[in-house]
Chains A and B, each alone.
Chain A
């Protein structure tokens, strides 16, 4: 199957700093990628849809100025958590959609804000 990677897998940052998470489709091109947030023992919450070459579409209640998404190429989307606070600590998962509309997920990034 198609492979999606995320980097870093774990990150610890101080409150007030920004952190960038990368999502890459390794063996296919993805015009659309998705960013999810998962709370402990909870389902995945879709944060935004990232479209290559255009602005991301954010779900209701997600602050676009806090969670900056850039889909710079057909294989890379980045999520930047700006001015992070402890409540932003979570497991962030991306997925990439193939041309046949299947979604493949990255392994996730554990963010801890101290």
Chain B
């Protein structure tokens, strides 16, 4: 089955800093890859996705590239805002497969 490893958090940054949250996965075949975000007290929202190798998903200034050769899907943003403070989950799967979630990485952005 699929599995995913995310970097330990929390990640603490100042506003406008560059963000990278690492995600690597193991999978049989080539799953779709997703990043979800969870704001305090809320459910998960789809942030971005990529469905095949070399695809780049992007949304709200965040982006991640499906790297088949390194089985990675690292999340990046050039300039974070306080409002980006949340927990970010990487998840391979989709299609008829179940989504498998990583442990989540908490991002804290300070003014």
Tell me which residues across on chain B come within 8 A of A42, comparing CB atoms.
103-104
B73 at the interface (CB under 8 A from A): no
**Cα–Cα distance between A34 and B98 once the two chains are bound (Å):** 9
Cross-chain contact of B46 among A1, A41, A46, A108 (Cβ < 8 A): A1
Q: Report if A44-B46 is in contact (Cβ < 8 Å); known contacts: A101-B95, A103-B94, A105-B36.
A: no
Tell me if A102 and B46 are in contact (CB < 8 A).
yes
Tell me which residues across on chain A come within 8 A of B89, comparing CB atoms.
43-44
Tell me which residues across on chain B come within 8 A of A41, comparing CB atoms.
106
Q: Report if A49-B98 is in contact (Cβ < 8 Å); known contacts: A43-B89, A43-B103, A43-B104.
A: yes
State which size class the interface on A falls in.
20 to 34
Interface string of B28-71 (1 = CB under 8 A from A): 00000000100001111110010000000000000000000000
Tell me which residues across on chain A come within 8 A of B41, comparing CB atoms.
108
B99 at the interface (CB under 8 A from A): yes
B92 at the interface (CB under 8 A from A): no
State which size class the interface on B falls in.
10 to 19
Tell me if B42 and A108 are in contact (CB < 8 A).
yes
Cross-chain contact of A101 among B36, B46, B96 (Cβ < 8 A): B96
Within the complex, the shortest CB–CB distance from A49 to chain B, in Å, comes to: 7
Q: Which residue of A lies closest to B93 (CB)?
A: A103
Q: Which residue of B lies closest to A32 (CB)?
A: B96
Tell me if B45 and A43 are in contact (CB < 8 A).
no
Tell me if B45 and A105 are in contact (CB < 8 A).
yes
A93 at the interface (CB under 8 A from B): yes
Tell me if A44 and B94 are in contact (CB < 8 A).
no
- Ranked nearest first, the 8 interchain pairs of A and B with the lowest CB-CB distance are A105-B44, A107-B43, A108-B43, A105-B43, A101-B95, A43-B103, A44-B101, A43-B101
Q: A43-B89, A93-B44, A101-B94 are in contact. List 16 more A-B contacts (CB 8 A).
A: A4-B43, A6-B43, A41-B106, A42-B103, A43-B101, A43-B103, A44-B44, A95-B44, A95-B99, A102-B46, A102-B49, A103-B99, A105-B45, A106-B43, A107-B42, A108-B43
